[in-house]
Structures are given as structure tokens and as C-alpha cells.
Amino acid sequence: MLKKKRGAQKNTFLPKKRRQTVKSQITTHTPIPIHIPIHIPTPVLTPVPNPIPEIENKPMLAAPMRILMVIDQLNVGGTETYTLSMARELLKKGVSVVIACKKGKLLDHFLGLGCPIYEIDFVLDNYEPDHEKRTQHLDLLKSIIRSENIDLVHGHQFPSGSIALTAAEQMNVPFVFTVHGTYYDRDFLESLERNATITCVSPAIRRLLLSKGVDAKIVSNGIDDHEYHSYAPSYLQHFRNKLGLPQHASVMLYAGRLSWEKGEICEELIHTIAAMRNNGYPNLHLIIAGGGNKQKDILQLVNKKQYPLDEPFIHCVGEIMNMGVYYSLSDCVIGTGRVALEAMSCERPVIAVGSKGFLGIVKPDEYEEAWDSWFGDHDSDKKCSRALLTAHLRRMLAMEPDAKMLLVKSGKQFLNDRFHISQTAQNLTDLYLSTIQLFKKDGHGNKLIELEQSHLF
């Protein structure tokens, strides 16, 4: 069944125009708010390749853009967090956002945006597509596009993106799809190339798409430094005590989805930390934040490594909403992709290791390589190993405080210069505008009026 949740709409800076709408019953929800020394060279920043082309004189639509965001489910992950942050910033810029998805652990955070949310179970509880209800889900999306007067549909995942593409085609509205990783079906990508504007989140993904004959524009992740920032030492000490961390513990944090390659990386890190504790680093602790299909196996491995010790040194905290404080209390973060950006925004050192390989300690002279490979998640020459993890953890633990301070301050500046949410959201807004205008220029807009007048949908 289609469920619709709506919070309070925000004022926009664009003039409204009268549009015909279909009245529907609305359930109002109170929005929930989200709450070895090394030389550090000055980073050399280069322009992001394939930028969004500027729209001549920046023409605006006669009314605020109305965008339908479609994702599989509101789980805790990089794609979902990307969508949450981008939707929040788009709303600030006067764009009207509507979301269609299956509910999940991030539902309350999305409700806090104050925009309409339609619950559609695109996937089953085992995350597989619900093929039997595809037609029903297609009809629901088409009804949302019509009743919400949607100007453009933006998909992010499969299978919801495939259904959203068909709905957009049948309702004659433009479609944008963002490729977030390396795991998309070739046939789906070919259908996107024929009928959609394609974006991706890193240069490595763009190269991969080009190798398949598919071009894409890069719109990077954006980080809101009001959400991801450093915390005061007094509060961090309180929070470490709350988690039962010893006062002199050196805390490593691994954050990510505990599935597939990232689950395997977590297992390698557990073996590495346990071995290091027995070889000169008795105060080493590990926090594991995340969930996934390997979570049960990882918990069994943790119990095996800690038995029969009285004091645990590996702390599994599950899927965490307030990741900022967990990043901030750690001495080093091990992760990839968006996790690496969030940790750097919280002024924490990062050892980058992802699905495609190992990058290591992220230093200023490696920022471009980190961005190009999406911190090892989309491309890398080196494969993760316990030997590499051990070597880079030792370097990090041996780093002098002044060198570490320079490292994290440089990382914060890199984030603000290249990945601030305001700029990335503006890039996406410009792309929306150009896509809608090109769509209308090609004569598609007249067909939508005819469909509305025919009452076929």
C-alpha cells in the first residue's frame, strides 16, 4: 500500500505559479531533527574533471523545481546519506523535493527534512527486487509524478532506478541517474544512456562507464560541516568513558557496510588489531560501526579473538546515526568513500581502504589520487593485506602530535575546498535546470500537457 508522510514545507526564493494538482489525503508528521614524523606538503588542488556546463545567464523556471528522489530503502549507507544530505541542501536552495523509498533506519532523519515521503517497498526484506509487484510500484510512481507535479525524477539504485526510469518515460518527464559504485548491470546502464542524464560520484566511476561506452557527468558527494565536525576534548572524554574505553586506549574506528568486500576488510582489520596487541601495542582498541550480511560472521570472529579476556578491546556498535562523535573520539579512521570524507571533516586521520584496494594514510600529496579512486573504493593498484594495514597503523601511532595536527587541518581544508555540500548541491541544481530545459527544448513538454488533459493517468 502507498503511504504518504508530509512535514512542513519550507519557503522558497522562487515565485510560485499556479498548477493543477490532484488533492489527496495527507498525514502530517512532526519533523524529527538530525541531529615516525612526516612532512605535510601544501596540497595542490586541480579542477574536478568534466564539470557541469554552466547554463547561459542561469535562466530559472517559472516555479520552484519539483524533484522526485527514488531510492531502494532508507538504510544506513553512503548512497542513502548522500541522498539525505543533498535533499536537505536542495530544500535550502528553494528546490521542492519528494522522496519515494522503502522505509528503513534513516526514515526519521528523512522525515525531519519536512518533505513528502512515499513508502514503496521496491525490495524485499532480503534486499532482493520484488518482481511480482513491479507493475504496482510503477503505477504508484506515475501517480506520484502526476499528483506532485514532478519536473524531474532522480534515481540512485537498482531496482528502484529501473522502475523510476520507466515511470519517467511514460509520464514524459526527464530522468537523472547517479551511479554510486561499480555494481550496476550493463543492460540497465545501456537503457540509461538512451533515456537519461547520467551522473557519477568519482573520476574512477566515469572511466569505468566510458569503457562501457557510457558517458557521465561528475557530481561529487557533499559534506555538511555543521553535521560532521570535531568535538571538544572534555565531551570526547565523557563519551569514551560512556563506551567503556580505557583512558590511555589508542582507538581505531572502522566504519562501513559489513557486506561483501567491505565485510572482508573488517575481518582483516580484526586479525590485524589482535596481532598488534600481542606485539607491542597492548592498548590498541577497535570500534566497528556498521551492519550488513557479514555482521553475524564478524561478531563470531570478534568473540573468538577476545576470549577469554576479561576486558574487551573490540567494540561493535552497529549502525550509528550520530557518526560525527564516533569519528571525533577515534585516533584514526579506517574506511573509504564517503566515510573518509566525513572523518576528514571531523579532523581525524584516515587510512583509506575500499572495495577495489588499499591507499593507506591519506596525506596532502595523495589527495588527488584519493579523490580519483574514491579512497580505494572504485580503483586502486594495491590490494588490502594485513601487512599493509599493520605498517600504516604503526606509522599513524608513531606520528608526532604536531604532524598529526597539520595532517587533519589540511584534510579539513581540502574538504571545504572541494566537497562542501553547498557547492555540490549547486552543481546538481544546475544539472537539473539544464536537463529540464533541454527536455523542453526537444518538444517533450507538450506531450505531458496532452497526457494530463486526456486523464489517462
384 or 54: whose pLDDT is higher?
Answer: 384
CA distances, 115 to each of 74, 85, 173, 422, 429 (Å): 15, 13, 20, 19, 17
H/E stretch holding 189 reads helix 186-195
pLDDT tens-digit map of 286-344: 999 999 989 999 999 999 999 888 889 999 999 998 999 999 999 999 999 999 999 99
27-28 and 3-6 beta bridge pairing: parallel
**pLDDT given for residue 179 in this prediction:** 95
CA distances, 357 to each of 263, 376, 398 (Å): 13, 5, 24
In percent, the amount of the chain with pLDDT more than 70 equals: 83
> Three cell numbers at 453?
488533459
Calpha distance 101→79 (Å, rounded): 13
Q: Where are the alpha helices (DSSP H) in 307-359?
A: 323-329, 337-345
In percent, the amount of the chain with pLDDT more than 90 equals: 74
What is the pLDDT averaged over residues 38-55? 48
- 55 pLDDT exceeds 80? no
What is the pLDDT averaged over residues 14-32? 41
- 109 pLDDT exceeds 70? yes
248 or 61: whose pLDDT is higher?
Answer: 248
pLDDT tier, 14 (very low <50, low <70, confident <90, very high otherwise) = very low
**pLDDT given for residue 12 in this prediction:** 40
Q: Identify whether the C-beta of residue 13 lies closer than 8 Å to the C-beta of residue 94.
A: yes
pLDDT tens-digit map of 65-83: 999 999 999 999 889 999 9
> Three cell numbers at 419?
566537497
**pLDDT given for residue 19 in this prediction:** 43
- 40 pLDDT exceeds 50? no
Q: Is the pTM of this model over 0.85?
A: no
**pLDDT given for residue 205 in this prediction:** 93
- Reduce the secondary structure of 196-264 to three states and give it as a string: CEEEECCHHHHHHHHHCCCCCEECCCCECCCCCCCCCHHHHHHHHHHCCCCCCCEEEEEECCCCHHHHH
pLDDT tens-digit map of 329-383: 999 999 999 999 999 999 999 999 999 999 999 999 999 999 999 999 998 889 9
What is the pLDDT averaged over residues 191-207? 93
pLDDT tens-digit map of 227-262: 999 999 999 999 999 999 999 999 999 999 999 999
Calpha distance 408→403 (Å, rounded): 9
Q: Identify whether the C-beta of residue 350 lies closer than 8 Å to the C-beta of residue 236.
A: no
CA 97 to chain CA mean position, Å = 17
CA 125 to chain CA mean position, Å = 21
Compute the mean pLDDT over every residue in the chain, rounded to the nearest whole number: 87
The candidate with the shortest Cα–Cα distance to 254, out of 201, 291, 223, 307, is 291
- 26 pLDDT exceeds 60? no
What is the pLDDT averaged over residues 395-419? 97
Q: Identify whether the C-beta of residue 415 lies closer than 8 Å to the C-beta of residue 341.
A: yes
pLDDT tier, 445 (very low <50, low <70, confident <90, very high otherwise) = low
pLDDT tens-digit map of 154-194: 999 999 999 999 999 999 999 999 999 887 777 888 889 88
